[in-house]
Amino acid sequence: MPFRLRLPPHGLWLAFLMAGGCGGAAAQSPHVSSVGHAHGTPVLFSYRTTEGGVFSSDTTRGRATAVLFVTTYDPVSQLAAQKLDEVLHAFRPRANGGAIVLEPEQNAMFADVFRSTLHLSYPVSISDTGARLGDGPFGAVHVVPTVVVLDRDGREVWRKAGMASPRQLEAALAGASR
């Protein structure tokens, strides 16, 4: 008799995925930190968006910014991208957001499909090699989704590896907007 995998109902499956972090990253428990670099150095970054624009420290300075690291094939990344979009609508014009897809540049087409299919109102960029290897401006990102919140001066003030709840995102953006 062939082996059959039995999956739980859809709601339980989604809860399982959310609790587990992501399917594509190493198994790690989600990490939340309040970095709070009040006197730290601003993060300097610049990525080309899927629409030909620029998502950078220059284009986001002056407002709190949520930077979401995702992969296009991960359902938890897709959910995190949608939740961030919902939270950003409540914070406009006080906050910015953007996603950085941690995939090779030849996957730029998938990143654009990710943005358009999810109807995201913020820019989506493809990462460079350094970001995927942990040598980029945001340091090591080993779990997707991961969200980093920058204050109005571009300093990292909060980071969460794994799925951030809307309440956590709201609190981090509110704190970074002060």
User: For 97-145, what is each residue's pLDDT tens digit?
Assistant: 999 999 988 999 999 999 999 999 999 999 866 666 777 899 988 899 9
Pinpoint the alpha helices (H) of the chain: 10-19, 57-60, 75-91, 108-117, 129-133, 166-177
Q: For residue 25, tell me if it sits in a domain.
A: no
Termini Cα distance of the chain: 63
Q: For the residues 167-174, what does the mean pLDDT come to?
A: 97
Q: For residue 74, tell me if it sits in a domain.
A: yes
Range of the domain at 136: 39-177
Give the pTM. Answer: 0.79
Task: Report the number of distinct structural domains present in the chain.
Answer: 1
Question: Mean pLDDT across the chain, nearest whole number?
Answer: 82
Whether pLDDT at 38 is above 80: no
Could you tell me which of 69, 116, 73 has the C-alpha nearest to residue 97? Answer: 69
Q: What's residue 40's pLDDT?
A: 85
Q: For residue 108, tell me if it sits in a domain.
A: yes
Q: For residue 27, tell me if it sits in a domain.
A: no
Looking up residue 136, the CATH number of its domain turns out to be 3.40.30.10
